[in-house]
Every structure is written in structure tokens, then in C-alpha cells.
Structure 1
Amino acid sequence: MAPFFILLYIQSPLQATLQALDLAKPAMWNSLIGNVIKFIVLFTLASSPKFGIMGVAIAMLVGVVLVTLLHLATLQKAIRFYIPIKDLTKMSALILLTWLTAKFIKQWFTQTNEHFLIFIACLIVLCIAYLLFLFLLRFISKEELQQIPFLQKWIR
């Protein structure tokens, strides 16, 4: 569910943007349409013994993805806004690299019984790897880091 719920972070700024552009009515309709469809999917899948609780999860995903895509479509129609394919590709690469790193770390640290220490070590290594990937994929530049006051003395 996590990859789809990344869209939830995009959904609120898109809705705020639509409201700032005096498009609150389309934003409300997008949310209403998404929630009605989510309810239909929820009722259909959750009442089926084949899906059960997984039907609830699928319905939640459908709602988040649909409302976000409707907001994006409305914004694109109103101001010709689009997300560059290059940025989407870089973000997909970041997610994939981070996932592969986590998978490798998990296999590497499974030989010991110290679960809390493993968790802390994995978390530290994964955070360092994620920051490294942010630099390698040029999400963060050296100039942007220089704007952070406590990092200015280490970055020249």
C-alpha cells in the first residue's frame, strides 16, 4: 500500500492549489467522486469472502489514487500543469534503489538475534543510502545544502 499512499502527500497540496486558483468546486467534486467510487469498491470487495479485509485496503488505495489523479487532471486542464517524465523516472529510480537497498540490508542482518540493534543499524544504513541516492539522482544539490545554517561550515 505504501507506494500508492505516496500520492496522499501530493493530494493535499493539489487540493490547496485548486482552491487557491478559485477551483474549489471542481476540487470538491473530485473528492466526492473519489469517495463514492471508494465506497462502491469497499462495499463490493469487503463483502466478498474472497477479498475480506484486503478489499478494504484495495478500496482505500482506489480512493487515494483516483482523487489525486482527478486533482491532477483538473489542474492540468486549468493551467496546463504537468509533472515532467524525467522527475517521475528519477522518483521511481529512487524508490526502487531504496527498496533494493533495504532488501539487501534485511538479508545481511538476519543472522543475529539482537532485533533492536538490527533495527537501529538498518535504519541508519538505509537513511545514509537514501541521502546518497538523493545526491546521485540530483534531487538535492550542493547549493541547496549550503542554505542550511549548520551545514554551511562543512560544505564549501
Structure 2
Amino acid sequence: MLVTDPTSPDFNSYASADDLSKYAEGRDLELPEKTEPLLIKAMDYLTGLNWQGQRTKDDQPLAWPRSNVVFDGRLYPKDKIPRELVTAQCMLAIEAKEGDLLASNREAAIKRERIEGAIDTTYAIADGESFKPSYPAVDSMLREFTTSTFEANAIARRA
């Protein structure tokens, strides 16, 4: 069961089944009868992102709401969940219809392709390696709320 109330100890989803239904309807997309598993798969992906700021409460079950988040040059309200996050969860839920979001990406860059009576294709990923999932539209939507995994500390001193 989805719980979208951030004050509940069982809070487990930013988007409701109704949010997903409205998102799909507005884009003329088909949904299966059971949509809650799709939203949970989407949450699995969102849980792994590096968010700006800190959880508002230490014991809250999900990453949002957060404090010390700067959005559009201003501090984002620490008691709100961004609508972009709800939309991103719905976008990911639609992607989850095809399977597990974290299992693999469905494509790899072509490293080499040759046609001489038959096609010989080499992908940029080696056999036995796995793909890193990539959802550019979601990443773009959440860009201002996330941080990169690369951080550097530096001290500059004038001589």
C-alpha cells in the first residue's frame, strides 16, 4: 500500500496512484491495472540519488522533505516535497512497466559496426559488465535538487 503522507512513519512514496494516473492520462499512456509496484520501483531508483541538503527529521523514512536545499537561487521550503520529484517518480514508474529500473540500461553506445555481407557490431561495454541506468529526462528535471557524486575540497592561499 502506498503511503504519501510525509508525517506518517510508513511514508513510502512521493507520488500517489492518482498522480500516476493523471500523468499517464495527460500523455495518452497505458497503465496496467496494478500501478503501486511501478511507483515502488520508481522509489527504489530515487532513493539512490544524491540529494542536496539534509533530511528535515532524522527519523523520516524517505529523503524528502529536506532542509538547506537551494532551488532557483532560494532556499526551498523544508516542509515541502517538490512537484518535480512527484513528476519524476511518475516518469520512472512509466519506465518501470518495461522491467526493473536498476537492473540495466536497455542500450549501449556502439563502439564499432561493420557491414560486409553480414553485420558485425561491437558495443562500448565489455561482456560480463553491466549497464548503468540512465534516465536523462528525470535527471534533468531533478538537477537542481541533486548533487554530483564528485566533490573536492581545496584551500587557496596567496603567497
Give me the TM-score of the superposition, normalised by structure 1. Answer: 0.27
Q: Which has the higher contact order (CA 8 A, sep 6+)?
A: 2
**Structure with greater strand percent:** 2
Considering only CA atoms, is the larger Rg found in Structure 1 or Structure 2?
1
**Structure with greater helix percent:** 1
Give me the TM-score of the superposition, normalised by structure 2. Answer: 0.26
